[in-house]
Amino acid sequence: MYHFSPVMKQVFVLLSVLLVLVSSCPDGELSCTSGECLPAGLICDLKTDCESGSDQEFCGLCDFEHHSCGWNDTSDRWRRQMANITSIPGVDHTSGSASGHVMHLDGKSASTAKLEYSVDKLSALGCQISFWYHMYENKSSSSSTSLKVTMVRDRDERDLLEISRTQTDGWENAIAFIGNQPGGYKLQFSYRRSFWDTKDIMLDDISFDYCGDGEVPAGSDQLSCDFEKDTCSWYHDYTASLLWERSDGKYNGPTGNGYYMWMSAKHSLNMSSAARLISFPRPAGQVICVSFFYHIFGNSIGSLKFIAKRSGEAETVVWMRSGTQGNKWRFADLTFESDKPIQFIIEAVVGGIQGSIAIDDITVSISETGSCPAERECTFQGSLCGLTPDPSASFAWSRITGTSQPANSSGPATDHTLGTELG
């Protein structure tokens, strides 16, 4: 077992640079051991680019067969060992072999065990870390101490995942969500035993999924969302200064009780602080209908923006409301048509010291007819405000009733909302 200290990491980077210099690749490019030349920026970016995987060899992705891949044991507790140290599972996860290697923690010592990897680069929106683990309890007890995956950025520590269980019968998979985090943090596996409980833990086959630019997780097109369980396929933008909060406690949602996304102004916040929810790009060549409820209330509150980003272009604000809109939920309808893949961003800017901004019941659908429901509220760009010709109007109205009311809602009827907004 050898440790991979920050000094060794620097040595590796230096060696990589030297390798690039003596390789046949053009200046500033990375030479894969499999022969390709790739941009140097692809080293340690949480995505495998070389066919041989050499661009990510000391970069966290790890089967523990030859070394620890940049995972640094700061507690002197973890050991890279052969899997036959215990009878269950007795084999590693990579090859199912007793001579395969794993990262092993002997649970007897009382100190907190920490295994860390430093991430230097910005990851993509859907980035997640996946790993296999096995837990074995040395003496019987009912307590279940936990293995944690934590993001440590300066003094800020955020638990991404906590696995609390007594033991497993073999290898099990776990995934912790990372998202588009700017580089400059450590990912940390930690375990602290309780007085009664000593536990052995093994780790194997750590990988990073959907962390590279353009990598899209399966099922990331769920943009219609009532936020009751999660944020569906709306991803927090961790590069923004604030985060939206999923809340149910401040006031009722548009359809009665339930969760919505929320952000509040505070004295201490910078006026331009913003929280953003981002979608993955939707395919080009479709008419996309978007509607949502919003609530902007307070004496001194900023603005809510709906932003579109077409592939290769700058972001465009297509809808915005600034300042208080009264203590009520309002409604917006938007239509998008694009010959390029199009991404949506919902941004709340603080802009003041008192008040809050919320959104709920987003629907995003592809229009079969090439047009979207009549707008139920005028936009600042000066729209028809629902005064569309009769034939399409009746269709639009029935469609509105079907899509804006979540199945589990118990709130006011849709025609009431419509009556108010169009009245």
Binding site for Ca ion (CB under 5 A): 42, 45, 47, 49, 55, 63-64, 92, 94, 100-101, 204, 226-227, 253, 258-260, 360
Closer CB to Ca ion, 258 or 281, in the complex: 258
Q: Which two tokens stand for residue 422?
A: 């169009």
Q: How far is the CB of 47 from Ca ion (least distance, A)?
A: 5
DSSP label at residue 225: B
Residue 247 to residue 310: CA distance in whole angstroms: 30
CA angle 197, 198, 200 (to 5 degrees): 140
CB 74 within 8 Å of CB 89: no
Q: How far is the CB of 403 from Ca ion (least distance, A)?
A: 14
Closer CB to Ca ion, 207 or 273, in the complex: 207
Which 3-state string (H, E, C) describes 106-133? CCCCCCCEEEEEEECCCCCCCCEEEEEE
DSSP notation for 349-398: E--SSEEEEEEEEEEEEE-SSS--PPPSS--TTT--TT---HHHHHHHHH
From the list 308, 294, 291, 293, the residue with the least C-alpha distance to 399 is 291
Q: How far is the CB of 218 from Ca ion (least distance, A)?
A: 21
Q: Where are the beta strands (DSSP E) in 123-169?
A: 128-137, 146-153, 156-164
Closer CB to Ca ion, 227 or 294, in the complex: 227
- The residue with its CB nearest to Ca ion is 94
Closer CB to Ca ion, 123 or 190, in the complex: 123
24 CA to centre of own chain: 38
Closer CB to Ca ion, 226 or 375, in the complex: 226
DSSP label at residue 326: -
Residue 114 to residue 354: CA distance in whole angstroms: 41
Q: How far is the CB of 62 from Ca ion (least distance, A)?
A: 8
Q: How far is the CB of 372 from Ca ion (least distance, A)?
A: 22
Residue 419 to residue 412: CA distance in whole angstroms: 11
Closer CB to Ca ion, 55 or 137, in the complex: 55
Q: How far is the CB of 255 from Ca ion (least distance, A)?
A: 7
From the list 183, 237, 174, the residue with the least C-alpha distance to 207 is 174
Q: How far is the CB of 174 from Ca ion (least distance, A)?
A: 16
Closer CB to Ca ion, 100 or 281, in the complex: 100
Q: Which two tokens stand for residue 371?
A: 């047009």
Q: How far is the CB of 63 from Ca ion (least distance, A)?
A: 4
Closer CB to Ca ion, 55 or 347, in the complex: 55
Residue 334 to residue 208: CA distance in whole angstroms: 36
Virtual torsion, Cα 127, 215, 65, 95, nearest 10 deg: 110
Q: How far is the CB of 166 from Ca ion (least distance, A)?
A: 24
Closer CB to Ca ion, 55 or 342, in the complex: 55
Residue 231 to residue 222: CA distance in whole angstroms: 9
